């Protein structure tokens, strides 16, 4: 559970790629890649960037799972969920930019 990095509008009409973000620290690692905090260069907003190795997904036969995850995240919009804001790819990785969630105790949500 967590709380988001603030409520704000995100312009979904523009094309976004990795060059739009300043890469900050790694906050998680998984079988296919990492999650790191990133800062949008034009407005200084913080997000979580999940980047997934295409090579590892293919090797581990997990492409269907990754596509399912992205599809589900595209449908979600809730204050207690890491909402997907942007998704893009390059030759080596798939990227999902999501709301940055801060950890909090469940008791504080009551």
**Does residue 41 have a known ligand-binding role?**
no
DSSP letters spanning 15-54: ---GGGEEEEEEEEE-SSEEEEEEEETTT--EEEEEEEEH
Which secondary structure element, helix H or strand E, spans residue 72, and what is its range? Answer: helix 63-75
Backbone angles phi, psi at 21, to 5 degrees: -125, 145
**Alpha carbon distance 33, 2 (integer Å):** 22
> Which residues on adjacent β-strands are paired with residue 49?
36, 97
Binding site membership: which residues?
50
| Residues that constitute the known binding site for ATP | 50
């Amino acid at each position: 559970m967590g709380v988001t990095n603030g409520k704000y509008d995100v312009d979904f009409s523009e094309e976004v790629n990795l060059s739009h973000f300043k890469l900050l620290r790694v906050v998680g690692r998984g079988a296919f890649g990492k999650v790191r905090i990133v800062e949008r260069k034009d407005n200084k907003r913080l997000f979580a960037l999940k980047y997934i190795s295409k090579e590892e997904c293919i090797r581990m036969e997990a492409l269907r799972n990754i596509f399912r995850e992205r599809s589900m995240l595209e449908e979600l919009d809730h204050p207690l969920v890491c909402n997907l804001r942007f998704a893009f790819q390059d030759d080596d990785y798939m990227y999902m930019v999501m709301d940055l969630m801060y950890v909090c105790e469940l008791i504080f949500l009551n």
